[in-house]
Structure 1
Amino acid sequence: MSTPSRAIAGLALAILTASVGTSAANVALPALVTAFTATPGQVQWVVIAYLLAITSVSVAAGSAGDRWGRRRVLLAGIALFTVGAAVGALAPSLVTLIIARAIQGFGAAIMTALPLALAKDLVANGRTGRIMGLLGTTSAVGTALGPALGGVLVGWGGWASPFWMMALLGATALPFALMVPSARTIARPRHRFDAVGNVLLSAGIATYALALTAPVPNWPTGPLLIGAAALVIGFLAVERRADAPVFPPAMLRHRTIRTGMITNVLVATVMMTTLVVGPYALHDGLQLPLPLVGLVMSVGPVTSAISGVLAGRLVDRTSPPVMISLSLTILSIGTAALATLPAWWGVAGYVGALVILTPGYQLFLAANNTHTLGATDAEQRGTVAGALGLSRNLGLITGASAMAALYTSLTAGADTAASGSLDATRSTFLIATLLAAIAAVTSLLPSRALRATPRKEHP
């Protein structure tokens, strides 16, 4: 294997490890209830801590890569993830495990953001799409493998086994990541690190995520959302005066970046809707046994894995903006099919809709990442990659909370569970179709390239 190939393998393995880490621990939750004599609400913080951490520091992770070197920060992220996994496996208490998961999440934020920027540094423009497609495929494979491997390991070796697996994956990714060359275009600014901006942004994002996760009844969603808005406003005020802002507000004035982030949020919301509503639609609406629900749901990740690299090659051979519009059109058709076909054709209709939807999603990821990072000056590529990760995570959180709540509210008062589920599924996916259509319209707005933001220098 050549050095560039080993470097790409290192980036893919980092993303695979972080993706497995996102989903593998979930299957251990029932075992954690027994092991730590805890309630389901308490062990749910094992998931929430990871989610909050990976979301809140996404932009900071990319900005740190731009400042101190992307490979160096990536190696630190992998080490952080690995240590967090090992500490989690050895955790003597639930509190220790939750802290370990937060450490993992901080590492995973780096492992999902910086490989995108590093991949753009490694390959020529004509090959960027296929690399983005490969990384998207790796993410889908990791997400699909996580629950399956985690379930087998929990049954074989107890709740700690998935965490040992994640530690092993991290230790394996580290030597491959060492083969990734450092980008020569990284700037070495002399100004101070924007600590206040990083804290305000991370706190605002974490507060928003915390508001929507609602792990217990009567969760103060409203006050938390107000607090999140206040923190973000404070962040923007600080960034306007910062010598080296963690996320320059000027970036949002560039249509390429702004459009890429907006469509990323909307698409991630739609895709998370399929993951949180799909099981109920199949089990309650179509009366499918639980073992078969998992089998049908696996069609999505499998199709994503198959179509990811092909989508990347298509992006390289055509225009990324055109592919973005095409992918969002396919995505809209797929969500509309999810809203209508299951009621007509049952499970076959649901599977057919997934086969339409997921290639559209993979094409979007490859095209949007290629186009957005390609329009970014190399000096700020890590920051923009982090912003793309942030927007995706915000969409995932919104889909998991708001769209799930919408589905639940629509099933209330139904005559039967089956009819109520099918009606709620139809309405929820029609809303998702509207979101996909808004993303498609947004993608048609004209865009322009982002160049390095002028920086103030200290005398």
Structure 2
Amino acid sequence: MLLSSLASSIANIGLPTLAQAFSASFQSVQWVVLAYLLAITSLIVSVGRLGDLLGRRRLMLAGILVFTLASALCGLAPTLWLLIAARALQGLGAAIMMALTMALIGETVTKEKTGSAMGLLGTLSAIGTALGPTLGGVLIAGPGWRAIFLINLPLGLLALILAARHLPADRPVAQAERMRFDHLGTLLLALALTAYALAMTLGRGSFGLLNAALLVAAALGVGLFLRVESTAASPLIRLAMFRDSPLGASFVMSALVMTVMMATLVVGPFYLSTALGLDAARVGLAMSSGPIVSALTGVPAGRSVDRFGAPRMSITGLGIMAAGALILPVLPMSLGVLGYIAPLIVLTAGYALFQAANNTAVMADVRPDRRGVVSGLLNLSRNLGLITGASVMGSVFAFGAATTDISSAHPEAVAVGMHATFAVAAMLIVIALAIAIASQVLAPRLVTAKAGHEQGPSAG
């Protein structure tokens, strides 16, 4: 989890250097980040399912190896497009690590300690995110840009050794079951997710005909995928599991929450620099408060989930997030930068609690043979929230500021854009909170109805 998040955040800071090194435009260099993101988004559900079929330990070791070798290829790439191809391969390895790390929790810890384990994963993910810009800056200033990729070699080898020594052995899987991989469903889902991700990321904030066409293609792809899954003998995703459990609600809530968290990353730098007049160094310090809080609160949040239960802590986390989103655009007007950091801390602490609770609720009762694909879906909902947040919340910010060029907007306009963005963010959190409360009310009824249905024929 640490490796995949570090590889994501460390590359962003190197984009200006890469543009100079390869004499390329920003639009071209941006694919170093997009290739990694697209590979994870399009493949994470499929590799989770492969882990269920082939064995999670075996596939995890392969994923770490792919990630490490791809990191070496990134560091040695002589051209920009070979670097981009190597980043896509690195994204494949990262998708395997992200999906199976969460799935393996159910095989390595007891159910009573699942919350603490999920909290620890959240802490390590936040550490990787926070460490990336700082470590990347040091490496670029010292050995050069290639070091931001080569640093993964010793870390990857260490992860490989630890995984080989400590991960539990794979359960036996019948050969007939291994052969029942849903190739058509996998292809359709990957194409649909790729089309959606490209629609949300191409154009750098502008939405044109190409974006609209990609969205239409994504919608058609999802429709075809659902049709194929409803008739497949061994589907990639069993649609029936969404009818008998609150899984769908958990995935929707995860996407909404990540959309809001992405808004802080998109809007924050512009607001801090333009409206509050901070220089780049102070902007970085203010922005780092979020990942630091997430890292510090992950484990305590997980323990709270184990003690008080995932449903209650999920609602509590969302309530804290709603409070943070409501006061975030208000306090800086009177308290300056401290008025920004304090609500960001509240928002991030609520996010850490929600994430630990939601992940625990999803993974604690999943059948062992479905943990990989469900973990992949959970990670997918997170990624889709990030992608949507970067595009949609950025557009809301620009619309609120009444400008297409945020970098040259007046401080008052940026402040208005900030208010509009977090009004929408608070609304999204309230929707997630309503879903959480509704799912808790409906869940016992679903269980009762299911039990009655199963006992009915025998009673008759």
Give TM-score scaled by structure 2 length. 0.92
Helix, strand or coil at the partner of 1:401: helix
**Amino acid of the structure 2 residue aligned with 1:123:** V
Q: Bigger shift: 281-290 or 261-270?
A: 281-290
Deviation (angstroms), 1:371 = 0.7
What whole-Å deviation, never above 9, does each CA across 1:228-257 have from its counterpart, x for those lacking one? 011111111111121211111112223421
Identity of aligned residues (%): 46
Please say if residues 58 and 170 of structure 2, whose CA atoms lie closer than 8 Å, have aligned partners that are also in contact: no
What whole-Å deviation, never above 9, does each CA across 1:267-315 have from its counterpart, x for those lacking one? 0101011111111111111111111000011111111111100000000
Q: Distance in 1 between matches of 2:409 and 2:81?
A: 41
Q: 5 Å matches for 1:3-402?
A: 15-178=1-164, 179-184=166-171, 189=177, 191-215=179-203, 218=208, 220-402=210-392
Q: Distance in 2 between matches of 1:337 and 1:186?
A: 52
For residue 9 of structure 1, what is the aligned residue in structure 2? none
Helix, strand or coil at the partner of 1:76: helix
Change (3 A) 1:227 1:412: same
Deviation (angstroms), 1:207 = 0.7
Q: Distance in 2 between matches of 1:28 and 1:361?
A: 28
**Amino acid of the structure 1 residue aligned with 2:111:** N
For residue 10 of structure 1, what is the aligned residue in structure 2? none
Number of corresponding residues: 436
Change (3 A) 1:416 1:391: closer
**Amino acid of the structure 2 residue aligned with 1:254:** D
Q: Bigger shift: 51-60 or 185-194?
A: 185-194
Deviation (angstroms), 1:319 = 1.5
Change (3 A) 1:303 1:190: closer
Please say if residues 66 and 187 of structure 1, whose CA atoms lie closer than 8 Å, have aligned partners that are also in contact: no
Please say if residues 53 and 178 of structure 2, whose CA atoms lie closer than 8 Å, have aligned partners that are also in contact: no
Change (3 A) 1:190 1:347: closer
Helix, strand or coil at the partner of 2:151: helix
Q: Distance in 2 between matches of 1:134 and 1:186?
A: 30
Deviation (angstroms), 1:346 = 1.4
For residue 455 of structure 2, what is the aligned residue in structure 1? none
For residue 432 of structure 1, what is the aligned residue in structure 2? 425
**Amino acid of the structure 2 residue aligned with 1:220:** L
What whole-Å deviation, never above 9, does each CA across 1:111-161 have from its counterpart, x for those lacking one? 111111101221111111001000000000000001111111011112111
Helix, strand or coil at the partner of 1:329: helix
**Amino acid of the structure 1 residue aligned with 2:155:** L
Deviation (angstroms), 1:410 = 2.0
Deviation (angstroms), 1:390 = 0.3
Please say if residues 44 and 376 of structure 2, whose CA atoms lie closer than 8 Å, have aligned partners that are also in contact: yes
Instruction: List alignment gaps of at least 5 residues for structure 1.
Output: 1-14, 452-459
Q: Distance in 2 between matches of 1:253 and 1:272?
A: 30
Helix, strand or coil at the partner of 1:37: coil
What whole-Å deviation, never above 9, does each CA across 1:370-393 have from its counterpart, x for those lacking one? 111113111111111100000000
Change (3 A) 1:76 1:279: same
Deviation (angstroms), 1:340 = 1.6
**Amino acid of the structure 2 residue aligned with 1:357:** L
**Amino acid of the structure 1 residue aligned with 2:73:** V
Helix, strand or coil at the partner of 2:363: helix
Change (3 A) 1:45 1:370: same
Give TM-score scaled by structure 1 length. 0.92
Q: Distance in 1 between matches of 2:28 and 2:368?
A: 43
Q: Distance in 2 between matches of 1:186 and 1:127?
A: 27
Change (3 A) 1:294 1:186: farther
Q: Distance in 1 between matches of 2:201 and 2:255?
A: 17
Helix, strand or coil at the partner of 1:33: helix
Please say if residues 256 and 375 of structure 1, whose CA atoms lie closer than 8 Å, have aligned partners that are also in contact: no
Q: Distance in 2 between matches of 1:183 and 1:307?
A: 32
Change (3 A) 1:174 1:258: same
- Runs of 4+ more than 4 Å apart: 185-188, 215-219, 413-416
Change (3 A) 1:383 1:416: closer
**Amino acid of the structure 2 residue aligned with 1:29:** L
Q: Bigger shift: 205-214 or 167-176?
A: 167-176
Q: 5 Å matches for 1:398-409?
A: 398-409=388-399
Instruction: List alignment gaps of at least 5 residues for structure 2.
Output: 451-460
Deviation (angstroms), 1:356 = 0.8
**Amino acid of the structure 2 residue aligned with 1:225:** L
Helix, strand or coil at the partner of 1:220: helix
**Superposition CA RMSD, Å:** 1.7
Q: Distance in 2 between matches of 1:186 and 1:376?
A: 18
Q: Bigger shift: 238-247 or 127-136?
A: 238-247
Q: Distance in 1 between matches of 2:215 and 2:334?
A: 40
Q: Distance in 1 between matches of 2:199 and 2:178?
A: 37
Helix, strand or coil at the partner of 1:243: coil
Helix, strand or coil at the partner of 1:247: coil
Change (3 A) 1:357 1:187: farther
For residue 416 of structure 2, what is the aligned residue in structure 1? 423
**Amino acid of the structure 2 residue aligned with 1:267:** V
Q: Distance in 2 between matches of 1:61 and 1:208?
A: 19
Please say if residues 121 and 183 of structure 1, whose CA atoms lie closer than 8 Å, have aligned partners that are also in contact: no
Q: Distance in 2 between matches of 1:311 and 1:303?
A: 11
Q: Distance in 2 between matches of 1:326 and 1:27?
A: 35
For residue 3 of structure 1, what is the aligned residue in structure 2? none
